[in-house]
Amino acid sequence: MPLVGRAYAASCQSRKFCRFARWAIAALVVVSVILAGPRGARAATLRITDDRGGNIGAYWFRYSAIRDSNEQVIIDGVCSSACTLVLGIVPARRICITKSAVFGFHAAWRPGFLGLPVINEPATRTLLSFYPTPIRQWIARNGGLTDKMLYLSGRDLATLYRQCR
C-alpha cells in the first residue's frame, strides 16, 4: 500500500474526516494535473501592446520567469524603457513582432533634487549590456542611450526580429 494510502487508512477514524481526506487527495491530484499541463502542450504567449516601462528589477524578474517557462512573446505595440529588457532576457527565437511594434530606449535614471530625473551612468551601462549585440549596435548608430527616447520600429526592427504569423 502506498505511503499516502497507509496514512489515510491509519488516520481515517471518523466518517467526516474520511470524506475530507478523500476530497483533499482528489483536490491535490487535480491541482497537480492542472499545474503539470498536458504533455507536449504549447507554451503560453505574452502579448505586449502598450508597456511604458517601470522598475528595472520588476521587469528583470518578470522576463526571467517568462524565459524559464518557454513562453512566447508577441510585441504588438509600444514597449518602452524597462519593457525593452525583454530583448535581452527572452531568447530572440521566442520573440516576434507585428507591424505595430515599437521599442523605446533611453538611459537609466534615478530621481534627483526635487525628484527631477538624473541619468544613472552605471545603471545605463548595465542596461545596455543586457541587450543583444544587434540592438546595442543600433542604439550606438542612433546616438546612444540619453535622456531622449530612441524609437526602433518599422524596417529597422523587421531586420532584427521575425514577424508574427
Residues 52 and 28 in one domain: no
Residues 76 and 151 in one domain: yes
What's the rounded mean pLDDT across residues 91-107? 96
Given a cut of 80, whether residue 25 has pLDDT beyond it is no
Residues 32 and 96 in one domain: no
Residues 149 and 77 in one domain: yes
CA–CA separation, 134 vs 125, rounded Å?
16
Quick one: residue 135, left, alpha or beta (phi over 0 = left, psi -120 to 50 = alpha)?
alpha
* Segment among 53-62, 86-95, 140-149 with least mean pLDDT: 53-62
What cell does 129 get?
Answer: 549590456
Tell me the three state secondary structure of residue 143: coil
CA–CA separation, 104 vs 98, rounded Å?
15
Given a cut of 60, whether residue 60 has pLDDT beyond it is yes
Domain count, the chain: 2
Residues 13 and 68 in one domain: no
**Parent domain of 97:** 45-163
Q: What is the pTM of this model?
A: 0.71
What cell does 156 get?
Answer: 529597422
Beta carbons of 28 and 7 less than 8 angstroms apart = no
Given a cut of 60, whether residue 131 has pLDDT beyond it is yes
Q: What is the pLDDT of residue 17?
A: 46
What's the rounded mean pLDDT across residues 47-66? 93
Given a cut of 50, whether residue 37 has pLDDT beyond it is no
CA–CA separation, 138 vs 152, rounded Å?
9
Q: Which of 134, 127, 165 is nearest to 152 (CA)?
A: 134
Q: What CATH number is associated with residue 127?
A: 3.90.226.10
Which carries the bigger pLDDT value, residue 84 or residue 20? 84
